[in-house]
Amino acid sequence: MIITRETDYAVRILRCLADFQLKTIREISEDQIVPRQFAYKISKKLERAGFIEIIRGATGGCRMKADLHDVTLMDLINVMDRDNMISSCLNPSVHCPYRDKNHGCCVHDTLCQVQQHIINLFTGLNMYDVIFKECDYTEHKK
């Protein structure tokens, strides 16, 4: 499971709307450095998930609807990405002839454990903390 560019853009959109103010896609796009065509597409997914609302019309825009304390990083990943496994072999619809022939696979089993750790971690991270946790930027400059 890798956080895709689409999920990264979704985090940025939520960050921009976290103040619950109405903003246009143009404002969001410019403020968060998200290409406008992606901002439109992602905002529609966020609206279907109930995270934001889109108000149409000349005076419309987007506004936060959900409490970011109640939305986890895993929730956001599930909304943005249908296939969010770290390896395609973990997808139940993918047939693995090696596992069938050998009645199992240690690599698959290990990756399942890694996947579960990631799911647990991402489920424990709410979007408020992801967006607003204080960072020490001096650490990143080294």
pLDDT tens profile 5-64? 999 999 999 999 999 999 999 999 999 999 999 999 999 999 999 999 999 998 999 999
- Look up the pTM and report it: 0.83
HEC states along 79-131? HHCCCCCCCHHHCCCCCCHHHHHHCCCHHHHHHHHHHHHHHHHHHCCEHHHHH
Domain 5-140 has CATH 2.40.50.180: no
- Delimit the domains of the chain by residue range: 5-140
Of residues 101 and 48, more confidently modeled: 48
